[in-house]
Structure 1
Amino acid sequence: MRMMSTPLVQHVLECFIKPQNSIAKSKQICNLTPWDIAMLSAHYIQKGLLFKKPSPLLNEQDFIENLLEKLKHSLSLTLFHFYPLSGCLVTQKTKDPSSYTIFIDCNNSKGARFIYATLDMKISDIISPIDVPPVVQSLFDHHKAINHDGHIMPLLSVQVTELVDGVFIGCSMNHTVGDGTSYWNFFNTWSEIFQAHDHEHDVPISHPPIHNRWFPEGYGPVINLPFKHHDEFISRYEAPLVRERIFHFSAESIAKLKAKANKEYNTTQISSFQSLSALVWRCITRARRLPYGRKTSCKLSTNNRTRMEPALPQEYFGNSIHTLSAGTATSGELLGNNLGWAAWKLHLAVVNHDDRAVLQSLKEWLESPLIYQLGRYFDPYCVMMGSSPRFNMYGNEFGMGKAIAVRSGYANKFDGKVTTYPSHEGGGGIDLEVCLSPIVMSALESDQEFVNATSVSYHL
């Protein structure tokens, strides 16, 4: 019997988009902070939205041509506000005195890449299978690229892929330029400008990005790195074979988890997200069938903006995140105790991650700069909770109504990576994108504690 081959994404056209207006000379260089530099060996951020085509369509060709032109024009207007995304990375080295610095040249580059592609598949082919199909990785540019590649690759690449009945808009953004908060502020602003009636003039935006990068007192704006060549801190990470699934947790289910965790630990301080993270940590650890004495950990991607004194505004454009080792325990301890015990460990780690802790971690980094290596930074028995259900993902519209799904590319995934999204229905529900080895995923799918907390999410 002949096997049917999976349709391939076909690139139809490619161009480069520059900011609508020229960038002031004072803004042509963007220096990198320790938080930015630490990302040089990680992958680009790859997130995108899947939309239904309007129905009925009188002329499909006119629809896609008009959509592409409007996307390109509004992107150009958006890049005026987010001008570092149109630049490129530059390394500057000197021997006498010895220095090694990396910065963003915001002006001397082609701009952001824009790709129009087609895929002979339907929306149901993307969101109906139990596992996220591998073809989703082809909906993004910069496949397997690391952030240091921003020396020769665009810092932002947008791929618009036309499906039979839908459109996927996927962005790949260099992680040294910004974090998830920065990424979604860019995406939200692009949507806001796209929907504006007047595209010929400057469009007022709700959350203008703040480009004045924050440095610890006594440091910056130039960080001199203790390297002679990028081979000393760059590695190429190849993800292992994993299954990737989207699990939906309703607001009601999460409220029950929170109530259970607080009751079990006789407190009221454990949050909804801490309760959900504790559940995921426990259930994945059980699915891995680790020996009783094996150490396991739960890590949380934490936004430092609100933890600083004074706080950094949410519009701060750049990286301001920390991977918090929120919980560590042996398999026997984690599974021998209840949900509240695990959730309380996560709670304590979060509340203790204050301004003092942030500054201490930066001091340690400056004394011995660390570039995150995906293959070494995360141990094989950890659970890593990334992204945030607080990001405004489903508020983005590009003339096709509300998106029906969020999906991500190959980037920064490994066995134990969990990416969090707001649910499509809103109201406090959360979707989890879970990556696990096939044998562990099968065990998780039959874990009664986990299954009882999940619910079906319908997007069509």
Structure 2
Amino acid sequence: MAVKVIEESQIGAQADSTPPKTCIPLTFFDVFWIIMPPVKRLFFYEFDQHSSSQHFIETVLPNIKHSLSLALQHFYPFAGHLTTPDHHDSVPEIAYSEGDSITLIAAETDSDFQHLSGHHARDVSEFFPLVPKLEYSQLIAVQVTLFPNSGFTVGITNSHVIADGKITTHFVKYWASICKLGAQNPVLLSESSLPFFDRSVVNDPKGLDKLYLKQMREFEEMVKSFQVANALTPGHPIIDKVRATFVLGRVEIEKLKQWVTSKMSSTFHVSTFVIACAYVWVCWAKCKRDEDVERLFFGFSADCRGRLDPPLPKFYFGNCVRGCAVQANKRDLIGEDGMVVAAEMIGREVERLNKHSVMEGAETYISDISSVMGSGAKGLSVAGSPTFKVYETDFGWGRPKKVEVVSIEDSGAISLSESRDDESGGVEVGLVLNKIEMDCFASLFEEALKSVTETDWIHGCPNFISGTA
């Protein structure tokens, strides 16, 4: 893949539209992400077949840059930087001064747009040149890459410490809407669409921010060991790994729900999220060749804005998620009732969050995660959510043809989003595995879905679910 940089710009908010200088303290929700690798997301947009590089540079790119500047008027902390405190036990802050900016790279490539924006297995290394690198203390960077006569991509790399996925995707959609509709659109200017910056609404009477800061420094070595054990090397693609996308349609999801519900030993709401995660976890477990691994875990994050007392504004700016993790014996996941085991474990954890305070056990949150990772267990976590509605990110050239979370090969996560082509409630799952495991996963995934559509799940059980695949 050849990628040629056309220009590199520094984009800041328009003068006099932001505070001259401000510091935003990190809360304990933010501190957890300090040592984590950045998030890299890539949006593919199809372009007119006869659009030239000149048209892109003279017409498309200026509009993208100008609208980004306008969006930063309301999301200016993205242009700031993370401070390094003088004292070891001091919590870092996000510092912003008027004139701060983010890097926007414009590039051109001779790569195959249709190939890269497909669902089939593609080498992970093909995506790295399309997303920008973050310099030290930077919080976000953007790269727009033209595929002449085919389309272009918008690649975004951001530090997780600045904000969670809900806010970063909201920022990108806000920017895209300005690019398409103009900055004076009343929907964009309404208070319900603007970020809320006041960190004082996050109560921390127990000093969790400093506790987490201390624990995260100790946790860092364990994270590195976990990455090595799971063949994850942030920023350095591993030669045998491929990424692929799998779709669970609304019909398949509903039939999976019916079957799992009919087999459950307890009653709880089996949501689309629960069933999709359980399905992927079981497929993944069946493809792992680690004979010595007995325990497998599954991790996901829950938005806490509406779960706190009092609840936070919908677009509170920052991180406001709590991680959750469940563990199961591998033999149970790959056994006859593996789907039921997985769904019950994930579903019960979701139900626990909904019934109890999300702050319950907050003091031991990091140590609990450490114990899971330090136990030798391997597993998956989730990046993204169907609730983010990433396929609504329209810069004026229609919905994205494809959205990829490039950074899942760094984190060992799956990506989860709404389905572009099944708007009735389907989901897309992005996955990175080595080639042998990916072939196995694809075979299991497709075989089971075929069984779903051809079998009466109340009276029959596909071979995959019964453990004989």
Q: TM-score range by the shorter chain?
A: 0.7 to 0.9
Conserved 8 A contact 1:275-1:340: no
Conserved 8 A contact 2:19-2:98: no
In the other structure, the counterpart of 1:270 is: 270
CA distance in 2, matches of 1:323, 1:229: 14
- Pick the aligned partner of 1:216 from 183, 203, 216: 203
CA distance in 1, matches of 2:139, 2:286: 40
Q: 2:121 is matched by which residue type in structure 1?
A: D
Structure 1 unmatched ranges of 5 or more: 1-6, 456-460
Q: 1:257 is matched by which residue type in structure 2?
A: L
In the other structure, the counterpart of 1:185 is: 170
Q: 2:101 is matched by which residue type in structure 1?
A: G
State TM-score, norm by structure 1: 0.83
Conserved 8 A contact 2:180-2:394: yes
Conserved 8 A contact 2:294-2:377: no
In the other structure, the counterpart of 2:72 is: 79
Structure 1 residue 357 displacement after superposition = 4.6
Percent of pairs with identical residues: 22
Q: 1:35 is matched by which residue type in structure 2?
A: F
Conserved 8 A contact 2:167-2:318: yes
- Pick the aligned partner of 1:172 from 157, 171, 174: 157
- Pick the aligned partner of 1:390 from 387, 391, 395: 387
Q: 1:356 to 1:392 in 2, by over 3 A?
A: same
Conserved 8 A contact 2:293-2:376: no
CA distance in 2, matches of 1:283, 1:411: 18
In the other structure, the counterpart of 1:259 is: 258
CA distance in 2, matches of 1:70, 1:191: 10
Conserved 8 A contact 1:54-1:400: no
Structure 1 residue 413 displacement after superposition = 2.9
**RMSD between aligned alpha carbons?**
3.4
CA distance in 2, matches of 1:231, 1:289: 31
In the other structure, the counterpart of 1:138 is: 129
Conserved 8 A contact 1:88-1:108: no
Matches within 5 A, 1:30-179: 30-57=24-51, 61-94=54-87, 99-107=89-97, 110-128=100-118, 130-133=120-123, 134-142=125-133, 150-151=136-137, 154-164=138-148, 165-179=150-164
Q: 1:68 is matched by which residue type in structure 2?
A: L
* Structure with more of its chain in helix, by fraction: 2
In the other structure, the counterpart of 1:418 is: 414
Secondary structure at the counterpart of residue 101 of structure 1? coil
Secondary structure at the counterpart of residue 16 of structure 1? strand
Conserved 8 A contact 2:176-2:396: no
In the other structure, the counterpart of 2:287 is: 287
In the other structure, the counterpart of 1:452 is: 450
Structure 1 residue 60 displacement after superposition = 5.0
Secondary structure at the counterpart of residue 318 of structure 2? coil
CA offsets per residue over residues 340-399 of structure 1, 9 Å max, x none? 33211211111112485521343336xxx77999x9679552122221011121112122
Matches within 5 A, 1:370-385: 381-385=378-382
CA distance in 2, matches of 1:31, 1:126: 39
Secondary structure at the counterpart of residue 343 of structure 1? helix
CA distance in 2, matches of 1:178, 1:383: 22
Secondary structure at the counterpart of residue 192 of structure 1? helix
In the other structure, the counterpart of 1:324 is: 324
CA offsets per residue over residues 202-256 of structure 1, 9 Å max, x none? 9625511111124334267984876699799588761555321111111111111
Structure 2 unmatched ranges of 5 or more: 228-232, 454-469
CA distance in 2, matches of 1:378, 1:422: 33
- Pick the aligned partner of 1:409 from 396, 406, 411: 406
CA distance in 2, matches of 1:42, 1:203: 31
Q: 1:11 to 1:453 in 2, by over 3 A?
A: farther
Conserved 8 A contact 2:7-2:105: yes
Structure 1 residue 291 displacement after superposition = 4.8
Which segment is superposed worse, 217-226 or 68-77? 217-226
Conserved 8 A contact 1:51-1:402: yes
Conserved 8 A contact 1:100-1:227: no
Q: 1:209 is matched by which residue type in structure 2?
A: P
Conserved 8 A contact 1:293-1:332: no
Which segment is superposed worse, 430-439 or 259-268? 259-268
Structure 1 residue 444 displacement after superposition = 1.6
In the other structure, the counterpart of 2:465 is: none
Conserved 8 A contact 2:117-2:401: no
Q: 1:195 is matched by which residue type in structure 2?
A: K
CA distance in 2, matches of 1:389, 1:160: 24
Conserved 8 A contact 1:388-1:420: yes
CA distance in 1, matches of 2:71, 2:368: 30
Q: 1:444 is matched by which residue type in structure 2?
A: F
Q: 1:62 to 1:220 in 2, by over 3 A?
A: farther
CA distance in 2, matches of 1:341, 1:225: 32
Q: 1:352 to 1:217 in 2, by over 3 A?
A: same
Structure 1 residue 121 displacement after superposition = 2.2
Structure 1 residue 76 displacement after superposition = 0.8
